[in-house]
Amino acid sequence: MGNHYKLSLKERNILARTVFPEKEAAELKRRKADAREMLGKKVGIDGYNVLITVEAIVAGKPVFLCDDGWVRDVSAAFGKHRITPRTHKALDEILSIFESARPAWVDFLYEKQVSWSGKLAELTRKKMEEKDIDGTAKTVARVDSELKTRYDLIATSDRAIILKHFKVLDLPALVAGKVGSPLIRL
């Protein structure tokens, strides 16, 4: 399709991450949890998936409200994340959601194979401690496997992971609503 219409790699990425068949979009929408459902629950976070999208939000980069109702960036970071001042701001915004929602426990899970994941987990733990949020941040070999069974709720915008869980949080959508970030809809 991309070659037929002479779409650039960026344009194909936008379509792949934002446009879904109607039936699949409806199924993904049904799995979306409300922020109030976090109260007293154990929450697992797909760390890079959530963080990179929230970094795009705080940087004012394009962020999309997709056909399935989820908020996604199209930065195509693909394992090339670096800790910047924007990372600090994004973590602060994510953690502010937990301060008001008051889950019992929060685990941030970062892919071990991405450079600087250990430092990012350490930074996340420090910020959680400063804000008195119970939980931890750690590196794991496979985030999707870790999210499967240990949590009452999870947070991701990865559709393959969403389809494996009954209730999933869209933390970037919560942050975008809080900071008043405009969302692009195709």
**Domain-embedded: residue 4:** no
**Domain-embedded: residue 1:** no
- The whole-angstrom distance between residue 16's C-alpha and the CA centroid of its chain comes to 17
**Domain-embedded: residue 163:** yes
Number of domain units in the chain: 1
**Domain-embedded: residue 66:** yes
**Domain-embedded: residue 91:** yes
Domain extent, residue 17, equals 9-179
Q: What is the pLDDT along the chain (186 residues), one digit of tens a residue?
A: 446 678 888 888 888 889 999 999 999 999 999 999 999 999 999 999 999 999 999 999 999 999 999 999 988 766 778 999 999 999 999 999 999 999 999 999 999 999 899 999 999 999 999 999 999 999 999 999 999 878 999 999 999 999 988 899 999 999 999 999 999 998
Number of other residues whose CB lies within 10 A of the CB of residue 38 = 24
- Based on the number of CB atoms within 10 Å of its own CB, is 22 exposed (0-12), middle (13-18) or buried (19 or more)? exposed
CATH code of 13's domain: 3.40.50
Q: What is the pTM of this model?
A: 0.93
**Domain-embedded: residue 158:** yes
Half-sphere exposure of 64 (CA within 13 A, CB side): 19
